[in-house]
């Protein structure tokens, strides 16, 4: 993250998102975790966000069984210990619902995540994975897109879906890295003609996060479609015969 001396190491992603064996029927998912060197400032700042990230990710619809077991064990214990302060930190707005099935109730939370804080967490992880994978610190711009969140803005959802579909093409034959893929794995795509490259992170089998890397010695390419979208102009993007409508006027 910076040029300060590394005096400790940190886990990327945070260790706490990997369930303990007592919570997942004896499976050890905390082996061979990724660590990178860290300065005191960034490590201590990150530690405050680790539980926030854990609460924000575990239990989301679409996760695999590991994610749900983690939610109903360690995550719930952490929430109870904090007297719900962790939920207050994770959501800027939220509503609680109870779903009934076969005389059993499941509590569901529907709300708005702290998007800014999540973005900072994933950016931090992206820098760490870059250092781990390429053995050098990244200098340049990193932009994160959270492919698992849904917005009230359908144009935003359409653009995110385009990114996911485009990434799926680029990632088709790319190696998945990570010793505990049911919890987390990542993939780096080779740089394109502009020197920009993509990182794909998947958590709990269903949470997709993307980060683009633009090195400081490269110039951001001009993209007409992006410029039109940024100006609020209705834009249609085509990919393999599929259309993605952005800034559609009602």
Write out pLDDT tens, residues 60-109. Answer: 988 999 999 999 999 999 999 998 899 998 999 999 888 887 788 878 88
Computed over every residue of the chain, the mean pLDDT equals 91
- Confidence class of residue 250 from pLDDT cuts 50, 70 and 90? low
Contact between 10 and 163 under an 8 Å Cβ cutoff? The reply is no
Q: How many other C-beta atoms can be found within 10 angstroms of the C-beta atom of residue 193?
A: 6
Looking at residues 196-222, what average pLDDT do you find?
Answer: 95
Look at the pTM and tell me if it is higher than 0.85.
yes
What's residue 27's pLDDT? Answer: 85
DSSP character at residue 82: T
- Reference 237, options 168, 155, 152, 145; nearest CA is 155
- The backbone torsions φ and ψ at residue 47, rounded to the nearest 5 degrees and listed phi first, read -60, -30
- Confidence class of residue 45 from pLDDT cuts 50, 70 and 90? confident
- Confidence class of residue 137 from pLDDT cuts 50, 70 and 90? very high
Report domain extents, the chain: 8-113, 139-246
What's residue 243's pLDDT? Answer: 93
Rg (Cα) of the chain, in Å, rounded?
Answer: 19
169 against 222, higher pLDDT: 169
* Predicted confidence (pLDDT) at residue 249 exceeds the cutoff of 80: no
Per-residue pLDDT of 154-198, as tens digits, reads: 888 999 999 999 999 999 999 999 999 999 999 999 999 999 999
* Predicted confidence (pLDDT) at residue 9 exceeds the cutoff of 70: yes
């Amino acid at each position: 993250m910076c040029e300060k001396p590394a005096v400790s190491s940190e886990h990327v992603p945070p260790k706490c998102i990997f369930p303990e064996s007592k919570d997942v029927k004896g499976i050890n998912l905390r082996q061979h975790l990724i660590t990178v060197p860290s300065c005191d400032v960034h490590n201590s700042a990150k530690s405050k966000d680790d539980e926030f990230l854990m609460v924000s990710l575990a239990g989301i619809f679409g996760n695999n069984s590991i994610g749900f077991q983690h939610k109903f064990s360690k995550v719930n214990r952490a929430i109870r210990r904090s007297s719900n302060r962790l939920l207050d930190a994770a959501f800027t707005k939220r509503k609680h619902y109870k779903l009934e099935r076969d005389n059993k109730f499941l509590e569901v939370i529907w709300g708005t995540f702290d998007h800014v804080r999540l973005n900072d967490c994933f950016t931090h992880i992206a820098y760490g994975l870059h250092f781990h994978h390429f053995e050098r610190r990244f200098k340049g711009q990193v932009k994160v897109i959270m492919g698992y969140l849904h917005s009230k803005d359908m144009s935003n959802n359409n653009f995110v879906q385009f990114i996911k579909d485009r990434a799926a093409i680029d990632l088709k034959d790319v190696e998945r890295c990570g010793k505990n893929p049911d919890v987390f794995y990542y993939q780096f795509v080779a740089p394109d003609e502009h020197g920009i490259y993509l990182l794909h992170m998947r958590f709990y089998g269903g949470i997709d996060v993307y980060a683009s890397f633009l090195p400081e010695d490269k110039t951001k390419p001009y993209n007409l479609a992006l410029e039109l979208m940024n100006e609020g102009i209705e834009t249609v993007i085509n990919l393999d015969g599929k259309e993605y409508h952005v800034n559609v006027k009602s």
